[in-house]
Structure 1
Amino acid sequence: MSYQPVPIPSHIPEKLTITLWDFSWYTRTGPGEPFEDLDAAFLQSAERGYNTIRICAMPFLLFGTSHGGESASFGPLGGQYAQNVRWYDVKHRVTMNARDHLISLFEAAKRHGFFVIVSSWEYQQSSAFYGDASWFDELMAVDLSNRPAVLARCIADMVDFLASRDLADRIAFVELHNEVQFGFLANALPDGEVQPGFATGGLSNGMDPVLDLKERLTAGLDLFHDRHPGIAVTVNYAGVPAGVMRGIPENIDVAVFHPYVYGVLDEFTARFKLRDESRFSTAVVRPLLRSGAPDYVDWQPPAEDAWRKRATIVGKPEIYVHDWCDVEAVDRYLYERFQNHHYAMLTKLDLWIDVAADFAASRGIPLVFAEGWVGYTPLHSWYEEGPIGAEFCRIAARKSNEIDAWGYIVCSNAAPHHPMWGEAALQRQCNTIFTQGLEA
């Protein structure tokens, strides 16, 4: 008999307008940082038309480690390393009871009428911000074949924990992990040395990770369903994995995809080898850097923080360039070459949304676009916030409305910890387009 998806409870909104709080809701809580005051962050989000946040709920840290995040320390990657990189520009080190902080988040969500997409970034980068390597080491100690099941158990324990405090009704749905095909969840070399593969998307055995992960993810989803049969659970994918959609488990309850179209940003990343450490050259990228930028080999976190580079899947050349680039030079490069990619980017976006919508319809499940739309730009780049990037946000909102997606994100940069947060009118406009089909 075919799988019967878990229905979405009636108290969950008919449309999810999502802002991506990721792991920043616990790493960026220091003085003056965007999540120092959770109530203020929720109020600002509501003003921009959002009703849902999507987070790394750190389930493994809280319910899979020996200490349970009782005295958790979060902070920068060390020195000035990654301080001009989106998501990584943490300013202060803070110490907290992480379970209490989770309760505070859900209580604030309830006060403000928000819902939470519970996910994990732990096998990608969350542990890189921790006070020591223990979280990362315990994650890596889990056998590769068992990681989805362990995450499922941890998240199920988290749901029990929230339910005991009358907070589980805030959960819109659960994801076992973020972008399952990219990161330590999927990839390992034959000798067991972990190979994260943010940009490669392939395993050492030659199999596409979407196909390779299916059995393990299915088992994890079954485990969660057994524990919490009334809560929708899924996994999500970077991009829309057209060509290997058969690798998506049959027992998901929500189709979740991240359609980053890249285009001109792909050209930028490929030309300067930002995700190819073996071929990266400071000399080649020098015209895009600020005066006084050190050589790549000299740009490192302090020795005591060197382990943090292993704990994140973001390419080290990419961190270096984002840290030291002249953002006007980068934006100028993207604008000058955009026209060569414009049609292809629009076509890719249109095709991916259609493929995703068709897939969701074939399974009889709701569709969510939880990240997107152009790609990973330097912290102070204004390309995605500017006239071209902003129009991609509007185009995606129109298309998501037309195909009746359940959830939509203005773009991944539209969150309290990014400069785009100041563009409140654009966010309200896009959320209105998505929910009502109105351009005003």
Structure 2
Amino acid sequence: MTVIASDRIRPGLPEKLTITLWDFSWYVRTGPGEPFADLDRAFTDAVHRGYNTIRICAMPLLLFRSGLATEHFRLEPLGGGTPGSGGVGRRTRWYDVAQPTVINAREQLLELFRAARRHDCFVIISSWEYQQSPAFAAEPGWHEALQAIDPEQRPDALADAQADLIDLLIAEGLDDRIAFTELHNEVVTGHLTADLEHRRGPEALIGLKPRLTAAIDRFHDRHPTQPCTVNYAGVPTGAMRGIPDNVDVLVCHPYVYGVLDDLIDTFGIRRPVADFDPAGVAELLQPQAPPFDSWRPAGVDHWKENASIVNRVEMYVHDWCDAEAFDRWLYDHYQVHRIAMRQRLSEWIEVAADWAVGHDVPLVFGEGWVGYTPADGRFEEGPVGAEFCRLAMAESARVGAWGSIVCSNAAPQHAMWADIELQQQCNAIFASVHP
């Protein structure tokens, strides 16, 4: 099955995109000793591991629709160093920012693209602004500006902001580094769909389709030759008809969960605070873990909690878990889920490929494969998770995907970055296999 639609891929782009997920970390983690303090070093390390593409939050709404001054924009850890914050997020993946930093947001973005050119890499432009990017700002203005946009108008606002960003890159002569543009990350997960929260699953996706379709057309009115799309958590197998027919690339994030879902359900770590039983999760926690009620991040402003999609219960468990106990539980229960997880991965990849073939668009897997684990957890890097990385890259190649990812955790802000051999091996599997 060949999925790559060459007429949608601009000349000069790689035949295969080997993607590393730098998300919003590439600017919130630029403080001293942080993984993106030296962009050239980050790109050098990425190329050494076999990557040619990074996927980022380009903060388009902050730059072009917030009305905020961004020349000296202050960013900080989630707790912000406030007394009583207790280092909130310190062991929660993607939230374990260690140092505050100040950026010139526009120049930071341009320097990223210049560095991409120096290292012959490409950039997938996206936004996490309705999920968590503004939670790392020192002040609430970014979050408040986004929330002030009517939910029905948010896709259009993103289309305009992303188009403004493309204008900037063209003016700076850096637009050749663009692989394609996503209006937003995982469009049915987060505040982008605030007025559709009464709907669930397929209904929300289908309800959002007209807005996304119109927003992609709006972007194309200004940049008809720039590929534009949106993306989805998982593969929306029950509602593929909800994907806009005018996307230029199909982008899905097949997190198979399986045994991780079992753990989440068993310990209730995604339940509302009112339904959470702290005693029931004790076996996963470090002995020195504070009581949940007293941990409630008193040092984290309420707006920061609202700006994030990770709930308080899950962050508490991830911050204070015994990572070995967490991983051990997954290994102890994995055998029950092994076959189903592998089947789900293969089936989701097949379904995504079939939709892409039917709509004559290239297919990209921008995130995946097992799921969201604590920052100190190593299940995804261990023998089970690593085998899913190899399997997923082989399956991505088999169906003719244009782009794929070793794993969402294979990036400078995660421990998996140290496993150079696995990343080189997986990128070679994907890049060297032709359907």
Q: Please confirm whether the aligned pair reaches a TM-score higher than 0.5, indicating the same fold.
A: yes
Choose from 156, 167, 179 the match for 1:160: 167
For the pair 1:147 / 2:186, whether they are aligned, the reply is no
| Contact persistence 1:62–1:69 (CA under 8 A) | yes
| 1:169 Cα deviation after fit | 0.9
Partner Cα separation in structure 2 for residue 218 and residue 5 of structure 1: 22
Aligned residue type for 2:137: Y
More displaced, 64-73 or 277-286?
64-73
Q: Deviations over 1:251-273 (max 9, x none)?
A: 10000000000000000111111
TM alignment of 1:68-83, pairs within 5 A: 68-78=69-79, 79=85, 80-83=87-90
Gaps of 5+ in 2: 80-84
Partner Cα separation in structure 1 for residue 224 and residue 6 of structure 2: 10
**What does residue 405 of structure 1 align with?**
401
| Contact persistence 1:390–1:426 (CA under 8 A) | yes
Choose from 388, 392, 395 the match for 1:392: 388
**What does residue 425 of structure 1 align with?**
421
| 1:228 Cα deviation after fit | 0.3
More displaced, 69-78 or 178-187?
69-78
SS of the residue aligned with 2:179?
Answer: strand
Partner Cα separation in structure 2 for residue 180 and residue 139 of structure 1: 15
Which is bigger in relative contact order (C-alpha 8 A, separation at least 6)? 2
Aligned residue type for 1:204: H
| 1:205 Cα deviation after fit | 4.3
**What does residue 260 of structure 2 align with?**
265
**What does residue 352 of structure 1 align with?**
348
SS of the residue aligned with 1:351?
Answer: helix
| 1:219 Cα deviation after fit | 1.0
**What does residue 204 of structure 1 align with?**
198
More displaced, 76-85 or 405-414?
76-85
| 1:118 Cα deviation after fit | 0.1
SS of the residue aligned with 1:408?
Answer: strand
| 1:303 Cα deviation after fit | 4.0
Identity %: 54
SS of the residue aligned with 2:193?
Answer: coil
Partner Cα separation in structure 2 for residue 267 and residue 233 of structure 1: 36
| Contact persistence 1:81–1:300 (CA under 8 A) | no
TM alignment of 1:29-108, pairs within 5 A: 29-78=30-79, 79=85, 80-108=87-115
Partner Cα separation in structure 1 for residue 72 and residue 104 of structure 2: 5
Gaps of 5+ in 1: 190-202
Normalized against structure 1, the TM-score is what? 0.94
Partner Cα separation in structure 1 for residue 324 and residue 142 of structure 2: 38
**What does residue 25 of structure 1 align with?**
26
Aligned residue type for 1:23: F
Partner Cα separation in structure 1 for residue 155 and residue 415 of structure 2: 34
Aligned residue type for 1:309: E
**What does residue 196 of structure 1 align with?**
none
RMSD: 1.4
Choose from 348, 362, 368 the match for 2:364: 368
| 1:68 Cα deviation after fit | 4.7
SS of the residue aligned with 1:100?
Answer: helix
Aligned residue type for 1:234: T
Partner Cα separation in structure 2 for residue 6 and residue 135 of structure 1: 38
Partner Cα separation in structure 2 for residue 302 and residue 27 of structure 1: 22
Partner Cα separation in structure 2 for residue 250 and residue 18 of structure 1: 24
For the pair 1:120 / 2:114, whether they are aligned, the reply is no
More displaced, 368-377 or 92-101?
92-101
For the pair 1:16 / 2:5, whether they are aligned, the reply is no
**What does residue 288 of structure 1 align with?**
284
| 1:280 Cα deviation after fit | 1.2
Partner Cα separation in structure 2 for residue 211 and residue 295 of structure 1: 41
TM alignment of 1:334-353, pairs within 5 A: 334-353=330-349
Choose from 218, 224, 229 the match for 1:229: 224
TM alignment of 1:188-199, pairs within 5 A: 188=195
Aligned residue type for 1:184: H
**What does residue 197 of structure 1 align with?**
none
Partner Cα separation in structure 2 for residue 164 and residue 68 of structure 1: 21
Aligned residue type for 1:267: D
| Contact persistence 2:78–2:300 (CA under 8 A) | no
| Contact persistence 2:296–2:312 (CA under 8 A) | no
Normalized against structure 2, the TM-score is what? 0.95
Partner Cα separation in structure 2 for residue 372 and residue 11 of structure 1: 27
